[in-house]
Amino acid sequence: MASGLEAYINHTVSIITADGRNFIGTLKGFDQTINVILDESHERVFSTTSGIEQIVLGLHIIRGDNIAVIGLIDDQIDSRLDLGNIRGEPLGPVVH
Amino acid sequence: MLPLTLLKTAQSHPMLVELKNGETYNGHLVSCDSWMNINLRDVICTSKDGDRFWRMPECYVRGSTIKYLRIPDEVIDMVKDDAQAKTRNRSEINKARISGGLQNQNVRGQVRSRYKNGQQNGAKNVLRGQTSRPLSQIAVNKNRK
């Protein structure tokens, strides 16, 4: 296996970008610079005053430069989350 | 599927491009290259705070300044069609190559035999003219006759 990402293809992933946003979607492909295709994606916006807001976005190409973390999501556990009642501080951007 | 393949497939489709500085560009993709540099037509640029807008007939965006591109959902299905068509073509080409290769071998065989004959003829000519033989040998032959 050339890259650990191969195992995530066609699975739900969470991508945290350098500007601190969190994208969830199906990983459809990637290349050597970790540019990524994310299908049926949505953004989760965290806030301390109300629950997590989900914004539907659709098909995305995210540039590798802008990606900090890619994590595999367990669909079963994720569907059990009550996002409306989860509060949290939004992430800040990556500090260099 | 490679991200740049998807981007290439999205040519002529509308898209949203967000740059690292937070500006967004909405327009139709004209062309792109392997560095993700892109050419957009009929563009609306939106400032980072989202309250200022600029219309421009076209623009060119350096790939390295892009944060992400948002593409119409249906484009991903078009890549599958493209890829399938390509693999179909490739297998056809390979088939053609295999059958063509056998023919080529035959042709090469013919050429080789023709070349052999040519060499033999040439050798005969040399013998006839006796130009490449040392003089002493020629003399010996003459004596034998």
- Is A94 a member of any domain? no
Residue of B nearest to A62 (CA): B68
Q: What is the pLDDT of residues B54-76, one digit of tens each?
A: 999 999 999 999 999 999 999 99
Residue of B nearest to A57 (CA): B70
Inform me whether the pLDDT recorded for B135 exceeds 60.
no
Cα dist from B143 to A56, B3, B129, B134, B136, whole Å: 105, 85, 18, 15, 11
- Is A48 a member of any domain? yes
List the domain range (segments joined by +) for residue B13: 3-75
List the domain range (segments joined by +) for residue A58: 6-76
Quote the CA–CA distance of A75 and A51 in Å, as a whole number: 20
Which residues sit opposite A12 in a β-bridge?
A: A26
Cβ distance of A28 and B76 shorter than 8 Å: yes
Inform me whether the pLDDT recorded for B23 exceeds 90.
yes
Pair A55, A45: CB distance under 8 Å: yes
- Is B135 a member of any domain? no
Choice among A70-74, B18-22, B65-69, B81-85 with the minimum mean pLDDT = B81-85
What is the band of B87 on the pLDDT scale with cuts at 50, 70, 90? low
Cα dist from B46 to A62, B32, B53, B58, B59, whole Å: 19, 21, 5, 14, 13
Q: Which two tokens stand for residue B35?
A: 């560095």
**What's the CATH code of the domain at A42?**
2.30.30.100
The whole-number average pLDDT for the span A36-50 is 94
What's the pLDDT at B122?
45
- Is B127 a member of any domain? no
Q: What is the DSSP letter of B35?
A: T
Cβ distance of B71 and A39 shorter than 8 Å: no
What's the pLDDT at B98?
65
Question: Residue with structure tokens 């040399």?
Answer: B126
What is the band of B123 on the pLDDT scale with cuts at 50, 70, 90? very low
**What's the CATH code of the domain at B18?**
2.30.30.100
What's the pLDDT at B86?
65
Q: Which of B75, B60, B53, B52 is CA-nearest to residue B1?
A: B75
Which residues sit opposite B10 in a β-bridge?
A: none
Quote the CA–CA distance of B64 and B60 in Å, as a whole number: 12
Q: Is A68 on the interface with B (CB under 8 A)?
A: no
- Is A37 a member of any domain? yes
Number of CB atoms found within 10 A of residue B20's CB: 15
Cβ distance of B1 and A29 shorter than 8 Å: yes
> What is the radius of gyration, based on Cα positions, of chain A?
14
Which of A23, A37, A56 best probes binding to B when mutated, by most B CB atoms within 10 angstroms?
Answer: A37
Pick A61 or B125 by higher pLDDT. Answer: A61
Pair A61, B2: CB distance under 8 Å: no
Element (H, E) at A66: none
- Is A70 a member of any domain? yes
- Is A22 a member of any domain? yes
User: Domain tally for chain B?
Assistant: 1
- Residue B30 C-alpha, separation from nearest chain A C-alpha, in angstroms: 17
Cβ distance of B67 and A62 shorter than 8 Å: yes
Cβ-based contacts of B5 with chain A (< 8 Å): 29
Residues 57-86 of B with CB under 8 A from A: 63-64, 66-73, 75-76
Pick B96 or B120 by higher pLDDT. Answer: B96
User: Domain tally for chain A?
Assistant: 1
Pair B36, B17: CB distance under 8 Å: no
Percent of chain B with pLDDT over 90: 52
- Residue A12 C-alpha, separation from nearest chain B C-alpha, in angstroms: 16
Cβ burial A16-51 (10 Å sphere, 16+ → b, else e): bbbbebbbbbbbbbbbeebbbbbbbbbbbebeeeee
The whole-number average pLDDT for the span A33-44 is 95
Pick B114 or A25 by higher pLDDT. Answer: A25
- Is A35 a member of any domain? yes
Cβ distance of A37 and B66 shorter than 8 Å: no
Cβ-based contacts of A65 with chain B (< 8 Å): 20, 64
Q: Decide if the complex's ipTM is over 0.85.
A: yes
- Is B137 a member of any domain? no
What's the pLDDT at B112?
47
Pair B53, B45: CB distance under 8 Å: yes
Cβ distance of A61 and B76 shorter than 8 Å: no
- Residue A67 C-alpha, separation from nearest chain B C-alpha, in angstroms: 9
> What is the radius of gyration, based on Cα positions, of chain B?
34
